A and B are shown apart, each in its own frame.
Chain A
Amino acid sequence: MYLPNFEYFQPDSIEETCQLLSQFGSKAKLFAGGTDVIIKMKKELLSPEILVSIEKIDQLKKIEYVPGKGVVIGSGVTHNDLVYSELLHEKYLSISEAARQMANNQVRNLGTVGGNIGSAVPSADLPPILIALGATVKITGVKGDRTMDLEDVFIGPGKTVLAQDEIITEVVIPDQKMTGSNYIKFGLRASGALAVVGVAAAVQVENNAIKEARIVLGAVSPTPVRAKKAEEFLKDKKISDELLAGAGVIASGECVPITDIRASAEYRKDMVRVFTRRALRKAIDEGHA
Chain B
Amino acid sequence: MSEKHSYVGKNLQRTDVLDKVTGRGKFTADLKFSNMLYGKLIYSTHAHARILNIDTSEAEKLPGIKAIITAKDVPSIRYGLSPARYDENIFCIDTVKFYGDKIGAVCAIDEDTVYEALKLIKVEYEALPAVFTPAEAAAEGAPQIFEEYPRNLNTEIHQHFGDCDKAQEEAYYVRTDRFQGQRTIHGVIEPHCTIAYWEGKRVIVHAAHQSVHYLQHHLARILGMKEGDIRVITPYVGGGFGGKLDVSGLDISAIILSKITGQPVKMAYDLEEVWLNGRGRHGMDMEYTTGVTKEGKILFVKNEIVIDGGAYTGLGIASAYYAGALLTVLYNFDNYKFDAYRYVTNLPPCGAQRGHGQPHPRYAFESHLDHIAEDLGIDPIEIRIINARKSGDVTPNGYELKSYFLKEANELARDASGWKDKKGKMAKGRGIGVGNGGFVSGAGFCQYRTDLPHSIAMIKVYDDGSHAIVYTNAVDIGQGSDTVLRQMAAEGMGYPYDDISIVSHDTDLATLDFGAYASRQTLMAGWAVKRAGEDVKRKILEMAAEMIKVKEDGGYRSGKLMPEELDCREGIVFMKQEPAVKITFAEVARAYFVKNGLLIGRGYYHPGKLGGQHKGAAVGTSPAYSSATQVSEVTVDEETGMVKVLNTWDVHDSGVAINPNLLHGQVHGAFAMGIGETLWEKVMFDEKGKLLNGNYAEYRLPTALDMPPVHSMILDTFEPNGPYGAKEVGEGATTPTLGCVANAVYDATGARVSSLPLTPEKVWRAMKEKREREEK
Please indicate whether A and B come from the same complex rather than being unrelated chains: yes
Give A contacts to B, CB under 8 Å.
Answer: 1-2, 5, 104, 186, 188-194, 261-264, 267, 270-271, 274
Main secondary structure of the interface of B (DSSP, over half): loop
Beyond A2-B116, A189-B706: 14 further Cβ-contacts under 8 Å?
A1-B270, A5-B112, A186-B640, A186-B642, A189-B680, A189-B700, A189-B703, A190-B705, A191-B706, A192-B703, A194-B697, A261-B684, A261-B693, A262-B698
A274 touches B703 (CB 8 A): no
A-B contact pairs, 25 of them (CB 8 A): A2-B112, A2-B116, A5-B112, A188-B700, A188-B759, A188-B760, A189-B680, A189-B700, A189-B706, A190-B705, A191-B704, A191-B706, A192-B696, A192-B697, A192-B700, A193-B697, A194-B697, A261-B693, A261-B698, A262-B698, A263-B761, A264-B761, A267-B761, A270-B764, A274-B640
- Chain A residue contacts of B706, Cβ below 8 A: 189-191
Task: Fill in one digit per residue for B690-729: 1 if any A CB lies within 8 Å of its CB, else 0.
Answer: 0011001110101111100000000000000000000000
Q: What's the Cα separation between A6 and B639 when bound, in Å? A: 49
Q: How far is the CA of A188 from the CA of B456 in the complex (A)?
A: 47
Residues of B close to A191: CB separation below 8 A: 703-706
Q: Closest CB of chain B to A185's CB: distance in Å? A: 12
Let me know if B115 is at the binding interface, CB within 8 A.
yes
Q: How far is A193 from B704 in the complex, measured between Cα atoms in Å?
A: 13
As a 0/1 sequence over residues 735 to 776 of chain B, the CB contacts with chain A under 8 angstroms (1 = contact) are 000000000000000000000000111001100000000000
Task: List chain B residues, Cβ under 8 A from A188.
Answer: 680, 700, 759-760
In the docked arrangement, what's the CA distance between A176 and B721, Å? 74
Which residues of chain B are near A189, meaning CB under 8 Å? Answer: 680, 700, 702-703, 706
Q: How far is it, in angstroms, between the C-alpha of A271 and the C-alpha of B271 when the chains are bound?
A: 32
Which residue of the partner chain A has the closest CB to B759?
A188
Contacts A188-B759, A267-B764 given: A193-B700 contact, CB under 8 Å?
A: yes
**Please, which residues of chain B bring their CB within 8 A of the CB of A104?**
703
Q: Which residue of A lies closest to B115 (CB)?
A: A2
Interface residues as binary, B210-222 with A (CB distance below 8 Å gives 1, 0 otherwise):
0000000000000
Partner of A190, one of B684, B693, B703, B759: B703
- Asked if B111 CB lies within 8 Å of chain A CBs, one says yes
What residues of B have a CB within 8 angstroms of the CB of A262 in the complex? 698
- Collect the chain A residues with CB atoms within 8 Å of residue B111's CB: 2
B639 contacts across to A, CB distance below 8 A = 274
Say how far A264's CB is from chain B's closest CB, in angstroms. Answer: 6
Q: Which of B594-642 contact A (CB under 8 A)?
A: 639-640, 642
Q: Which B-chain residue is minimally distant from A267 (CB atoms)?
A: B761
Contacts of B702 in A (CB 8 A): 189
Decide yes or no: A261 and B705 within 8 Å by CB, A267-B761, A267-B764 being known contacts.
Answer: no
The 5 A-B pairs at the shortest CB distance, nearest first, are namely A2-B115, A190-B705, A191-B703, A267-B761, A189-B700
Q: Hey, which chain B residues are within 8 Å of A264, CB to CB? A: 761
Min distance, Cβ B64 to any Cβ of chain A, angstroms: 14
Query: Chain B 105-134, CB within 8 Å of chain A: the 1/0 string?
Result: 000000110011000000000000000000
Interface of A: prevailing SS: loop
B692 partner residues in chain A, CB cutoff 8 A: 261
Report Cα–Cα, A5/B112, bound state, in Å: 9
Which of B271, B642, B700 has the most chain A CB within a 10 Å cutoff?
Answer: B700
- Given the complex of chains A and B, what is the CA–CA distance between A271 and B760 in angstroms? 11
Residues from chain A with Cβ under 8 Å of B640 in the complex: 186, 271, 274
Residues of B within 8 A of A5 (CB): 112
Q: Which residues of B contact A274 (CB under 8 A)?
A: 639-640
A194 and B697 alpha carbons, distance in the complex (Å)? 8
| Across-interface contacts of B700 in A (CB, < 8 A) | 188-189, 192-193
The residue among B684, B698, B761, B765 with the most chain A CB atoms within 10 A of its own CB is: B761
Which residue on B lies nearest to A3, using beta carbons? Answer: B112
Q: How far is the CB of A110 from chain B (nearest CB, A)?
A: 15
What's the Cα separation between A264 and B705 when bound, in Å? 25
Min CB distance A2 to B, Å, is 4
- Residues on the B chain within 8 Å of A263, using CB: 761
Report the separation of the CA atoms of residues A186 and B639 in the bound assembly, to the nearest whole angstrom.
12
CA distance A104 to B705 in the complex (A): 11
Contact partners of B760 in chain A: CB under 8 A: 188, 267
| Distance A275 CA – B461 CA, assembled complex (angstroms) | 68
Inside 8 A of B116's CB, which chain A residues have their CB? 2
Q: Which residues of A contact B270 (CB under 8 A)?
A: 1
Which A residues lie within 8 Å of B696 (CB)?
A: 192
Q: Roughly how many angstroms separate A263 CA and B112 CA in the complex, as a whole number?
A: 37
Q: In whole angstroms, how far apart are the Cα atoms of A192 and B680 in the complex?
A: 13
* Centre residue among A2, A191, A270 by max chain B CB count within 10 A: A2
| Bound-state Cα–Cα, A189 to B644, Å | 10
Cα–Cα distance between A270 and B763 once the two chains are bound (Å):
14
Residues of chain B with a CB closer than 8 A to A267's CB: 760-761, 764-765
CB-CB < 8 A to B697: which residues of A?
192-194
- Residues of chain B within 8 A (CB-CB) of A270 are 764
Least Cβ–Cβ distance between A3 and chain B, in angstroms: 9
Q: Which residues of A contact B684 (CB under 8 A)?
A: 261
- Give the CA-CA distance A191 to B706 in the complex, in Å: 8
B residues 637-652 with Cβ under 8 Å of A? 639-640, 642
Q: A274 to B765, alpha carbons, bound, how many Å?
A: 15
A194 to B759, CA, bound (A): 15
- Once bound together, how far apart are the Cα atoms of A189 and B645, in whole Å? 12
| Least CB distance, A262 to chain B, in whole angstroms | 8
Q: How far is the CB of B402 from chain A (nearest CB, A)?
A: 42
Please give the distance in Å from B152's CB to the nearest CB on chain A: 26
CB distance from A199 to the nearest CB of B (A): 12
In angstroms, Cα B703 to Cα A191, docked, is 7
Residue of B nearest to A263 (CB): B761
Chain A residues with Cβ below 8 Å from B115 are: 2
How distant is the Cα of A125 from the Cα of B765 in the complex, in angstroms? 26
Bound complex: CA of A193 vs CA of B681, how far in Å? Answer: 13
Return chain B residues, CB-CB under 8 Å to A271. Answer: 640
B40's nearest neighbour on chain A, judged by CB, is: A2
Cα distance, A2 to B111, chains bound together (Å): 8
A277's nearest neighbour on chain B, judged by CB, is B639
A269 to chain B, nearest CB (A): 12
Bound state CA distance, A189 and B704, in angstroms?
11
The interface residues of chain A lying within 8 Å CB-to-CB of B704 are 191
Name which residue of chain A comes closest to B760, CB basis.
A188
Residue of B at shortest CB range from A274?
B639
Cα-based distance from A274 to B764 in the complex (angstroms)? 12
Q: Which residue of B lies closest to A186 (CB)?
A: B640
In the complex, which residue of chain A has the Cβ closest to the Cβ of B696?
A: A192
Q: How far is the CB of A119 from chain B (nearest CB, A)?
A: 15
* Distance, CA A192 to CA B271, complexed state (A): 17
- Complex Cα spacing A122 to B761, Å: 20
Cβ of B281 to closest chain A Cβ, rounded Å: 19
B695 CB, min distance to chain A CBs, angstroms:
9
Using Cβ atoms and an 8 Å threshold, which residues of chain B touch A1?
Answer: 270-271
A20 to chain B, nearest CB (A): 26
Shortest Cβ distance from B39 into chain A, in angstroms?
Answer: 14
When distances are taken between beta carbons in the complex, the residues of chain B under 8 Å from A186 are: 640, 642
Q: State A169–B390 Cα separation when bound (angstroms).
A: 71
A271 to B765, CA, bound (A): 12
Distance in angstroms from A191 CB to nearest chain B CB is: 4
Closest to A1 in B: B270
Cα of A210 to Cα of B640 in the assembled complex, Å: 26
Least distance between A75 CB and chain B CB atoms (Å): 24
User: Of all chain A residues, which has the CB nearest B113?
Assistant: A2
